[in-house]
């Protein structure tokens, strides 16, 4: 039997590109990767049968460049394009460009993309089709006065949401009228940057919201089915981090009602292919059939599609390819079954300790969980790859399946606890703690879960055991150098008449310790911290980074220790007092302050855009601004000085 398509170009990158390659190869379809200059040696390029360069690192010059992608497809002779998710996957113009080039687009028709691509239009369509929508304002007038009035009419708290996009970009929660203008300005600016459209809508904020979505599929013969639901309520910065199928606490009647609403939504726009209909449910009194509303439809495959695959045993990419080739859906609704429970965790390069700011750098250590026994790992990076400022900071998706939800959660937590990543900050330990939290295990989840339990979910400060493990690595490093070099250069504290002793000064976060290492004359050593002996279990999971710092990894966490020179000048207090640094590379999009202004602790000073999200940098303390080192539009490196403060007199040099 001939393949569905001869050659498939994948207009995406990272783990989703590799995921599509895997299915296409099984179906006998040749694959073509595209890449930017930043991705020339990326894993997805190596995974495909061939690859074509499409431009420079910024997405608008490569992965979002329709002409470049179509040109690449023509150049390699592809007869189909799979857009993955993100980038051009929900772009009707791209789908039309594929059709004009006589290339099959693995996705819905352009008309369906347009119908669901703008949230205000989609909600009006759904209301007309009899699907309940969240109360709010969907009008065309976008003045501050009108939007403020509509927010008051809807009733605070409200959500401001970008009309043209998703993924938490262009979204702000507003709790009071005096916060509205500033939130609206930020939402519009972020929406314009992400989607080229700054229009917003106003939506009532549900106080105990559950984010539940339904996977749907439709074919060209008019058939449509749902493949059950996913709960995506665990979110930070309005972006999902843990998803599961099926939703905890979902009754059969509500599942049937929500599934029917999702299918009705698809049929209302003559949908074809894979899509996800997202609902918001009020969980204040448990899930009820009359307490869920249509939120939006994503006209593509979702990041979290693996949990649906694991409970159904189906390959959704294969379904996409078959439907795009004109075949009917492989299964009818009454033939579909779900089994067990699956949970996915998104492993990101980000720092939960710092408000989940993205982290960039080289993956100097990358040890992901082993796949098998109900554990699946989808990744698009390898050890020594770089996480850059240009793209989403996802490192991997780790998914676990089991017959019982609690066992699936335990299995996933155990897999993530084995993860070792150094060179960037990650949320691995945070995910482990979330999966083991009693409320999560009890199914008591909603979109406020992370904020409610933030203190319990953040990483603990380093203890003596962790300091000892870092010190042991320093000792080993010095021993190796001593064996290679002149013994007179050794730093092992050698003494003629007594045991050798050396002191190692280490700092991690705001903690510091002086570690005394005693080398026994008969061999072996003893480590003391504050006069108390500490026996390090091992220094496995501890590595020296290129920066000279030491990363100690355990239970998915990574603590970074600096080896301090006891005779060096400690300017850290001055550094933190007289300057504000960019936490990552990015673009300055707004400057609020001016030289000479006195600012209060927590006052917004600069807005930095990085990895498709805005990050507001605030004053670390009450201070006077000495100088602004940046202006709107500037590109800055991580660690660059953004603002200088007047140094307090009591900390100035004398």
Q: What is the pLDDT of residue 496?
A: 46
In the predicted structure, residue 553 carries a pLDDT above the cut 60: yes
Q: Strand 525-529 to strand 511-519: parallel, antiparallel, or no bridges (unpaired)?
A: antiparallel
**C-alpha–C-alpha distance, residues 329 and 610, integer Å:** 40
Cβ(92)–Cβ(110) below 8 Å: yes
Task: Work out the pLDDT band at 394, boundaries 50, 70, 90.
Answer: very high
| Active-site annotation holds for 300 | yes
Nearest C-alpha neighbor of 113 from the set 187, 165, 188: 165
> For 47-61, how does the pLDDT look when each residue is reduced to its tens digit (9 = 90+)?
999 999 999 999 999
Give exposure, 400-439, as e/b (b: 16+ Cβ within 10 Å). bbbeebeebbbbbbebbbbbbbbbbbbbbbbbbbbbbbee
C-alpha to C-alpha distance for 270 and 259, rounded to whole angstroms:
17
pLDDT of residue 523: 67
Q: Give the model's pLDDT for residue 121.
A: 84
Q: What is the DSSP string of 208-248?
A: SEEEEEEEEEE-TTS-EEEEEEEEEEEEETTEEEEEEES-T
Phi, psi values for residue 104, rounded to 5°: -70, 130
d(CA 77, CA 456): 53
pLDDT category of residue 475 using cuts at 50, 70 and 90: confident
Q: How many CB atoms lie within 10 A of CB 548?
A: 8
Which neighbouring-strand residues pair with 551? 543, 560
Peptide bond into 343 cis (omega under 30): no
d(CA 181, CA 575): 34
pLDDT category, 651, cuts 50, 70, 90? very low
Domains, in order of start, for the chain: 7-106 (3.40.50.20), 135-204 (3.30.1490.20), 209-329 (3.30.470.20), 340-459 (3.30.470.20), 464-564 (3.30.700), 572-651 (2.40.50.100)
Q: How far apart are CA 304 and CA 347, in angstroms?
A: 12
Q: For the chain, first and last CA: distance in Å?
A: 84
Give Dmax over CA atoms of the chain in angstroms: 91
Residue ranges of alpha helices (H) inside 36-166 are 43-47, 66-76, 92-100, 110-117, 119-128, 144-154
CA atoms within 13 A on the CB side of 318: 14
- Hunting for tokens 């009899």 — which residue is that? 130
What's the Rg (C-alpha) of the chain?
A: 27
The whole model's pTM is what? 0.84
Would the pLDDT of 489 be above 80? no
Q: Is the pLDDT of residue 67 over 90?
A: yes
Per-residue pLDDT tens digits for 301-351: 999 999 999 999 999 999 999 999 999 999 999 999 999 999 999 999 999
- Distance (Å, whole) CA 164 – CA 123: 12
For residues 95-113, give the mean pLDDT. Answer: 97
pLDDT of res. 615: 82
The Cα-based distances of 328 to 78, 110, 243, 265 in angstroms read 23, 20, 29, 19
547 has pLDDT over 80: yes
pLDDT value of position 340: 98
Predicted confidence band of residue 572 (pLDDT cuts 50, 70, 90): very low
Task: Give 340: exposed, middle or buried? Use CB within 10 Å, 0-12, 13-18, 19+.
Answer: middle
Q: What would the pLDDT profile of 428-437 be if each residue is shown by its tens digit? A: 999 999 999 9
Q: Which two tokens stand for residue 78?
A: 């592809």
Instruction: Fill in the DSSP letter of residue 137.
Output: E
Calpha distance 233→245 (Å, rounded): 12
Average pLDDT over all residues of the chain: 90
Within 10 Å of residue 384's Cβ, how many Cβ atoms? 12
- Closest to 188 measured CA to CA, from 178, 179, 201, 177: 201
- Name the active-site residue from 19, 255, 300, 346: 300
* pLDDT score, position 538: 65
Q: Which residues contact 584 (CB under 8 A, 6 or more apart)?
A: 357, 358, 359, 360, 389, 608, 610, 611, 615, 638
pLDDT for 649 equals 58
Q: Which of 197, 60, 193 is nearest to 612 (CA)?
A: 193
Q: What angle do CA 450, 456, 459 make, to 5 degrees?
A: 100
pLDDT confidence bin for 540, thresholds 50/70/90: confident
| Confidence grade of residue 258 (pLDDT, cut at 50, 70, 90) | very high
Long-range contacts of 432-435 (CB under 8 A, 24+ apart): 432/555, 432/556, 433/457, 434/234, 434/241, 434/242, 435/242, 435/343, 435/345, 435/409, 435/410
Lowest mean per-residue pLDDT among 377-381, 500-504, 645-649: 645-649
Q: How far is CA 406 from CA 120, 230, 376, in A?
A: 38, 16, 17
Distance between CA 144 and CA 160 in Å, rounded? 12
489 versus 539: which is more confidently predicted? Answer: 539
pLDDT of residue 571 exceeding 50, the answer is: no
């Amino acid at each position: 039997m001939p393949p569905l398509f001869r050659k498939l170009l994948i207009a995406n990158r990272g783990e989703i590109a590799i995921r599509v390659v895997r299915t296409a190869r099984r179906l006998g379809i040749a694959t073509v990767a595209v890449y930017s200059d930043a991705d020339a040696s990326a894993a997805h390029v190596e995974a495909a049968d061939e690859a074509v360069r499409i431009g420079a690192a910024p997405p608008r010059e490569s992965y979002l460049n329709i002409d470049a992608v179509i040109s690449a497809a023509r150049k390699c002779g592809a007869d189909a394009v799979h857009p993955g998710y993100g980038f051009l996957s929900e772009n009707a113009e791209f789908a039309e460009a594929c059709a004009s080039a006589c290339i099959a687009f693995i996705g819905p028709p352009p008309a369906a993309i347009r119908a669901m691509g703008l949230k205000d239009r989609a909600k009006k369509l759904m209301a007309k089709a009899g699907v309940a929508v969240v109360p709010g304002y969907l009008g065309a007038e976008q003045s501050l006065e009108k939007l403020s009035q509509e927010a008051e009419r809807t009733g605070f708290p409200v959500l401001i949401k970008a009309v043209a996009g998703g993924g938490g970009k262009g979204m702000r929660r507003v709790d009071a009228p005096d916060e509205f203008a500033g939130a609206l300005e930020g939402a519009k600016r972020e929406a314009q940057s992400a989607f080229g459209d700054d229009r917003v809508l106003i939506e009532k904020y549900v106080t105990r919201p559950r984010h539940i979505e339904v996977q749907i599929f439709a074919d060209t013969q008019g058939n449509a089915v749902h493949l059950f639901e996913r709960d995506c309520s665990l979110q930070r910065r309005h972006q999902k981090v843990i998803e599961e199928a099926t939703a905890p606490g979902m009754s059969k009647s509500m599942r049937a009602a929500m599934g029917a609403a999702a299918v009705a939504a698809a049929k209302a726009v003559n949908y074809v292919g894979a899509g996800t209909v997202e609902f918001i449910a009020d969980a204040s009194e448990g899930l009820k059939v009359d307490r869920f509303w249509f939120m939006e439809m994503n006209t593509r495959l979702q990041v979290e599609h693996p949990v649906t695959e694991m409970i159904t045993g189906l390959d959704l990419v294969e379904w996409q390819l078959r439907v795009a080739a004109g075949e009917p859906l492989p299964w009818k609704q009454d033939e579909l079954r779900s089994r067990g429970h699956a949970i996915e965790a998104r492993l990101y390069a980000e720092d939960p300790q710092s408000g989940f700011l993205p982290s960039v750098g080289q993956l100097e250590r990358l040890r992901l969980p082993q796949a098998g026994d109900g554990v699946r790992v989808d990744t698009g990076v390898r050890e020594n790859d770089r996480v850059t400022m240009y793209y989403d900071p996802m490192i991997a998706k780790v998914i676990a399946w089991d017959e019982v939800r609690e066992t699936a959660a335990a299995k996933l937590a155990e897999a993530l606890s084995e993860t070792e990543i150094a060179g960037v900050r990650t949320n691995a330990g945070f995910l482990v703690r979330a999966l083991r939290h009693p409320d999560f295990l009890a199914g008591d989840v909603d979109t406020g879960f992370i904020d409610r339990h933030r203190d319990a979910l953040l990483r603990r400060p380093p203890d003596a055991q962790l300091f000892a493990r870092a010190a042991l690595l320093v000792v080993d490093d010095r021993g190796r150098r001593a064996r290679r070099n002149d013994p007179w250069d050794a730093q092992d504290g050698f003494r003629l008449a007594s045991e050798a002793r050396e002191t190692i000064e280490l700092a991690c976060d705001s903690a510091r310790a002086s570690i005394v290492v005693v080398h026994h004359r008969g061999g072996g050593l003893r480590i003391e911290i504050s006069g108390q002996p500490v026996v390090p279990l091992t220094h496995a999971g501890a590595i020296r980074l290129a920066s000279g710092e030491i990363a100690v990894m355990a239970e998915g966490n990574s603590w970074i220790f600096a080896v301090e020179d006891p005779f060096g000048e400690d300017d850290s207090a001055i550094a933190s007092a007289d300057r504000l640094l960019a936490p990552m590379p990015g673009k300055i999009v707004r400057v609020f302050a001016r030289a000479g202004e006195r600012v209060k602790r927590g006052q917004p000073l600069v807005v930095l855009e990085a990895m498709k999200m805005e990050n507001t940098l605030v004053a670390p303390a009450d201070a006077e601004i000495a100088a602004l080192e940046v202006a709107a539009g500037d590109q800055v490196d991580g660690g660059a000085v953004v603002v200088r403060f007047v140094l307090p007199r009591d900390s100035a040099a004398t």
